[in-house]
Amino acid sequence: MRLIDRLLIINVSLILVFGLTALSSSAGGKFFLKQLIYIPISLIVVYFTYNFCSLEFYKRSANLIYWLNIGLLIILKFFGTTQLGSQRWLMIGPISVQPSELAKICLIIFLAKILSQKEIRTYFDIVKVFAYIALPSLLVLIQPDLGTTLVYIAITFGMLFWAGAKLIQLLTICSPIICAICSSLGYKIIDYHNTYIDLVITVPALIFLIFFTVLIIFHYKVWSSPSKTLITMMLLFVEFLAILYRPSIWGLLKDYQQKRLTIFLDPYSDPLGAGYHIIQSLYAIGNGGFIGTGLRSGDLSQGSFVPEQHTDFIFSLVGEELGFIGTGCVIFLYALLCIQIIIRARNSDNKFHSLLGIGIFSMFIFHIFVNIGMNLSLMPITGVPLPFLSYGGTSLLVNTFLMSLVAKVYSENQKGV
């Protein structure tokens, strides 16, 4: 085992130690023992899969894995257990399993296979890939679990870019969504309402429309042919429709869902309701200062003022009790972990192996960025946990399994050196 392998093991172990330390202080430590039990289970599963399942086996089984994943998500719809308003768990005896977490593994393996077989060049190639993730994303979205759905999308975008898709193509695919989001922010230039039309154009929406239009015109030289001009006009029309129907689509969400997605912009607008989680998280992190209050000594954490401090808001507990030093160490370890994954993916000569690494990297970076941003009131509350730090048996099993794939990518690449 070479140095980089040892570094990966040490890195993940240190993050696990931080997680167990935080859980021992959270909610009287009642989640500590539960998480501790899942660690040997995860290690046993990883040991057998690492030693007896090659990456080629996963590639050959990718289609079967994909459809088994779809079947599991459908079963969840009919037999799943509802907790906190979401139907996300299957009970197998005393053990609860979260299929949407297992789906992350399935999607990464399946997308790595199909993207390794063909270079991504055209918009049609990109649309076909999104068609593959549409069904599992929809099944998870109706649970409802918006955060995990966004994780699937982040994984797909990262792997598409690595497989050859250009940034301009990915931006074009996302442009209607960006327009819709921009039309809900900033100062309103047009705010027109009647029975049939609900049109809101804001300064951010107008700026993005101008920027994107100029970018498309000069990048594709739309004046060079009538077909390019027509396609550009159709694209701009779709973006205009996204702005036009954004209020109607937004209205499909329930009030509490809308607040969860927007309250981070001004949590003090509802300090005792939707903004309570974020405000308490900010107070807890601020209360920790540079060195923290000490384990089991945080006024807000120990007083249970921070909700869901063992899962979504565990970073605030680390911030209060271990301070800036503790949170800085956690962020450093995550950064080091992501760098190690990128190095292994980049150094692999096998496209399937490389795409596996990038899919795992995309998932981890999204989880880390969104969760920490959520705790700092920089991102919406989407229920995305911190890998190896937040409580969750299925999540821990998935993350350790993905790390075994990363180690496998490196070891198999070393055989060819």
pLDDT digits (tens, 9 = 90+) for 288-326: 899 989 888 888 888 778 888 888 899 999 999 999 999
Task: Pick the closest to residue 242 from 145, 174, 155, 338 (CA basis).
Answer: 174
Q: Where are the domains of the chain?
A: 166-252
Contacts of 240 by beta carbon, 8 Å cutoff, 6+ apart: 179
Is the four-CA dihedral 123, 358, 332, 370 of positive or negative sign?
Answer: positive
Identify the pLDDT of residue 403. 92
Taking CA atoms, 22 is separated from 25, 36, 60, 309, 321, in Å, by 5, 12, 40, 9, 9
Identify the pLDDT of residue 2. 45
Q: What are phi and psi of 348, to 5 degrees?
A: -80, 135
At 88 the three-state DSSP class reads strand
Pairing of strands 86-92, 95-97: antiparallel
Identify the pLDDT of residue 240. 83
Asked if 381 contacts 278 with a C-beta cutoff of 8 angstroms, the reply is: yes
pLDDT at 398 over 50: yes
| Lookup result for tokens 């920089």 | 378
| Lookup result for tokens 């429309």 | 209
Measured between alpha carbons, how far is 326 from 288 in angstroms, rounded to an integer?
A: 10
The burial class, CB within 10 Å (0-12 / 13-18 / 19+), for 355 is buried
pLDDT at 1 over 60: no
pTM of the model: 0.90
The pLDDT-based confidence of 362 (bands split at 50, 70, 90) is very high
Mean pLDDT check: name the lowest of 22-26, 31-35, 165-169, 251-255.
Answer: 251-255
Q: Is the peptide bond before 144 cis (omega within 30 degrees of 0)?
A: yes
Pairing of strands 188-193, 81-83: unpaired
Identify the pLDDT of residue 71. 92
Mean pLDDT check: name the lowest of 154-163, 184-193, 325-334.
Answer: 184-193
Task: Pick the closest to residue 16 from 413, 416, 386, 360 (CA basis).
Answer: 386
Higher pLDDT, 357 or 271: 357
Identify the pLDDT of residue 122. 86
Is the four-CA dihedral 125, 129, 134, 137 of positive or negative sign?
Answer: negative
Q: What is the mean pLDDT of residues 173-193?
A: 82
List the structure tokens of 90. Answer: 């299957």
Identify the pLDDT of residue 3. 41
Identify the pLDDT of residue 189. 84
Identity at 257, one-letter amino acid code = Q
Percent of the chain topping pLDDT 90: 37
Asked if 317 contacts 306 with a C-beta cutoff of 8 angstroms, the reply is: yes
CA triplet 127, 132, 138: central angle to 5 degrees? 105
**Alpha-carbon dihedral 394, 399, 405, 407, rounded to 10 degrees:** -140
pLDDT at 156 over 90: yes
pLDDT digits (tens, 9 = 90+) for 15-73: 999 999 999 888 777 888 888 888 999 889 888 888 888 889 999 999 999 999 999 89
Residue 219: CB atoms within 10 A of its CB come to 11
Asked if 11 contacts 340 with a C-beta cutoff of 8 angstroms, the reply is: yes
Identify the pLDDT of residue 188. 81
Measured between alpha carbons, how far is 267 from 65 in angstroms, rounded to an integer?
A: 41
pLDDT at 235 over 70: yes
The pLDDT-based confidence of 415 (bands split at 50, 70, 90) is low
Measured between alpha carbons, how far is 151 from 367 in angstroms, rounded to an integer?
A: 7
The mean of the pLDDT values for the chain is 86
Task: Pick the closest to residue 311 from 12, 16, 22 (CA basis).
Answer: 22
At 349 the three-state DSSP class reads coil
List the structure tokens of 160. Answer: 């598409």
Identify the pLDDT of residue 416. 53
Identify the pLDDT of residue 33. 87
Asked if 73 contacts 138 with a C-beta cutoff of 8 angstroms, the reply is: no
Higher pLDDT, 314 or 273: 314
Asked if 62 contacts 115 with a C-beta cutoff of 8 angstroms, the reply is: no
